[in-house]
Chains A and B, each alone.
Chain A
């Protein structure tokens, strides 16, 4: 079987060359820019310097934005997980025909480009609209709350982005857990809840964590919702990077910000993977 292993391993060469090659080329060019000072209009200083990174550290606005970005991504991932976990599980245990139709219905909503959906959200949450009036009447919303420009709005936008991905990823995780295991446990007297806790949860954990990480990574980089729903008040790091690039043409600073974000995201990923592998040594965590 060693020969087989090596054979399979060889298959990796073309994709690795492609991915690795592009990764190296683009990141070297871009990150090297972070070590040069911006002299205006995209001109970079000659000397190697840590100045950009120091500025990120010193400037409270950047650190606040970093915190906001990570908080937002983590919160949205959690909310999406809570929303979609039961749905994905339920779909994986219903008749395949129904499941397919419902999944198709969810995926189709992602094809409606986010900018138009956000306009829909703006209309939905209009201050004098039916929804907000009911929420205020129920005491769930403050009289001064305004949707556009709120953390809530950007979170809602991100959640819409995340849900389709999460449902599909979790669905395939659950679908791979044979129903026989659950049936066996039920026959032996375990309640449904116990089955979920003792059988489904541990088996689905690696897949769930991996899906969560993919989503977390996606959300730290998303910026369309922040632009359209953030009202200039919710400044995620991706928005600040875009401003550095487009408004100020500061490639060095933008690269440094991107570098910091990348580092933190990688850290979160590594910590999560290590933590999960500690918990379930038998499970293999794939990409």
Chain B
């Protein structure tokens, strides 16, 4: 131990200064890297935002996007087809339900996997991982065919229904919550639980007061994924989309395949800004900051 410590008191200030320098350069490099990654992520977004304010030559419809914008207009922001707003609403409702369902199913599953002791635990863990290993396109078709099979032997009509799509999305979203919550749980020290129980708290109380707040950021992360997967899914929704209302990404995909809906960049920008704000607000509600600050109750 002592060998690692600089014992030469005369050179102490110099090594310390050199280390400070290295730290500073290291930090600079790290932040520069972060800047580069952000640039990479944001480059296409900036193009989309720029294209959303570009008037084009022919104001009513526009065949293609331009960047940098050759002018400025908010025309596209104001003239959005009502069907587009409707599809966003459908996607929001669907994603919210899927998220709630995934959390309700995934949290107990994570608890069971991490804390449970029974034979074949690894097998069950694999079972929960499998939905994420099946390509989404296969999931879409497999579910469609399964729904038809079900329809032929029962009065259930799940094909082309929002319920059917909900089930498929829930199927692929739950593993994210299980994974995120499970990881958070695994990092948790069991001593916290033991301490609470030894002080007389019931198991439920322990869970609610101790465990849950500490794994909440993990659940939140998983829930965010679940929402993201459902809100942005194109592949599965293409097969299972309900007749009455299609989801937003399917609408966008269809528009790109056929007739470019000119207000798309504007709508995408609005969705982008809204989601950024909502995520920040949610983070605050969930108390991410306090948990992050305290280090998450990790094992020592």
- Which A residues fall within an 8 A CB radius of B? 1-2, 4-12, 14-16, 18-20, 22-23, 25-27, 29-30, 33, 83-84, 86-87, 89-91, 96-97, 99-121, 123-124, 159-160, 163-165, 168-169, 171-173, 175-180, 188-192, 207, 210, 214, 217-218, 220-224, 228, 237-238, 241-242, 245, 251, 254, 258, 261-262, 265-266, 269, 284, 286-287
Contact = CB atoms under 8 A, between A and B. Distances in A.
Contacts of A179: 295
Nearest to A190: B4
Contact of A222 (B105, B136, B185, B271): B136
B40 to A, nearest CB: 7
Interface string B133-155: 11111110111011001100000
A4 B206 CA distance: 13
Interface hub of A20, A26, A120, A173 (most chain B Cβ within 10 A): A26
Given A22-B171, A176-B183, A176-B298, A5 B228 contact: no
Contacts of A101: 280
A175 B296 contact: yes
B280 A8 contact: no
Interface residues of B, number: 114
A221 B42 CA distance: 24
The list of the 8 closest CB pairs from A to B, nearest first, reads: A221-B135, A5-B117, A120-B44, A9-B116, A12-B112, A108-B276, A189-B4, A96-B292
Interface in B40-68: 40-48, 51, 65-67
A176 B184 contact: yes
Interface in B260-298: 264-265, 268-269, 271-273, 275-276, 279-280, 283, 288-289, 292-293, 295-296, 298
A166 B289 CA distance: 20
Contact of A228 (B182, B218, B256, B293): B256
A120 B187 CA distance: 40
Interface of B: 1, 4-6, 19, 22-23, 26, 30-31, 33-34, 37-38, 40-48, 51, 65-67, 105-106, 108-118, 124-125, 127-139, 141-143, 145-146, 149-150, 167, 170-171, 174-176, 178-180, 182-187, 203, 217-218, 221, 224-225, 228, 231-232, 234-235, 248-249, 252-253, 256, 264-265, 268-269, 271-273, 275-276, 279-280, 283, 288-289, 292-293, 295-296, 298-300
A121 B30 CA distance: 26
B31 A26 contact: no
Given A23-B130, A100-B292, A120-B47, A11 B37 contact: no
B110 A287 contact: yes
14 contacts: A22-B171, A23-B127, A25-B149, A26-B143, A26-B146, A87-B34, A107-B279, A113-B234, A115-B252, A116-B264, A124-B44, A165-B225, A172-B218, A178-B299
A27 B130 CA distance: 11
B65 A19 contact: no
Contacts of B26: 192
A86 B30 contact: yes
B239 to A, nearest CB: 9
Given A9-B116, A120-B51, A111 B264 contact: no
A10 B116 CA distance: 8
A129 B178 CA distance: 45
A174 B183 CA distance: 11
Nearest to A172: B221
A23 B143 CA distance: 9
